[in-house]
Amino acid sequence: MSKNPKLAAVEQYISALSSHDMAVITDLYDDDAVLEDPVGSDPLVGKAAIVRFYEVAFSSGISARLDGPVRLVANHAVFPFVVELNPGNGEMRIDVIDQFTFNDDNKIVAMKAFWGEANMTTA
């Protein structure tokens, strides 16, 4: 893991998506965080709403892997990654770019996921 706390958070996030580790996901977010996935959808506000979002993702058999370098600037991390859903059962792949905004405690206060229909493929 990286010593940079923002890079470490991204690495933990990707790992937690694949291992379905809600404790890690919950710990990464600030209590009042806002999640917009995908950008343009209704934002989810607060940890309870965010947990429900990830519960649905975990139930779909989600896995994730980085697909390029993480960009860090100021209190932001931006990174490309691949999400796969329903492995072995009509798998869907989504190419995503996420933006995390961190507070001074290195907790995610805003997450925006950039992807659309053109970024989705099925096996």
In a domain, 122, yes or no: no
Average pLDDT, the chain: 95
Residue 9 belongs to domain with CATH number: 3.10.450.50
Mean pLDDT value of segment 37-58: 97
Whether 55 maps to a domain, the answer reads yes
Question: pLDDT class for 86, splitting at 50, 70, 90?
Answer: confident
**Phi and psi based region of residue 74 (left: phi greater than 0; alpha: psi -120 to 50; beta: remaining):** left
If one compares 16 and 90, the residue with the highest pLDDT of the two is 16
pLDDT of 20 > 90? The answer is yes
pLDDT score of 112 more than 90: yes
pLDDT of residue 2: 57
pTM to 2 decimal places: 0.93
Q: How far apart are CA 46 and CA 112, in angstroms?
A: 14
Q: Which domain holds residue 45?
A: 5-117
Long-range pairs for 65-72: beta carbons < 8 A, 24 or more residues apart? 65/14, 65/18, 66/10, 66/14, 67/95, 70/7, 70/10, 72/4, 72/6, 72/7
Annotated catalytic residue 13:
yes
Q: Tell me the average pLDDT across 56-84.
A: 96
Does residue 123 form part of some domain? no
Q: 13, 29, 54, 98: which one is catalytic?
A: 13
| Beta strand segments in 21-114, E | 29-36, 44-45, 63-66, 71-73, 76-85, 92-102, 108-114
> Does residue 61 belong to any structural domain of this protein?
yes
Q: Is the pLDDT of residue 3 over 60?
A: yes
Do the beta carbons of residue 100 and residue 76 sit within 8 Å?
A: yes
Catalytic residue from among 27, 30, 32, 37: 37
Active site residue 37: yes
What is the pLDDT at residue 90? 66
Number of structural domains the chain divides into: 1
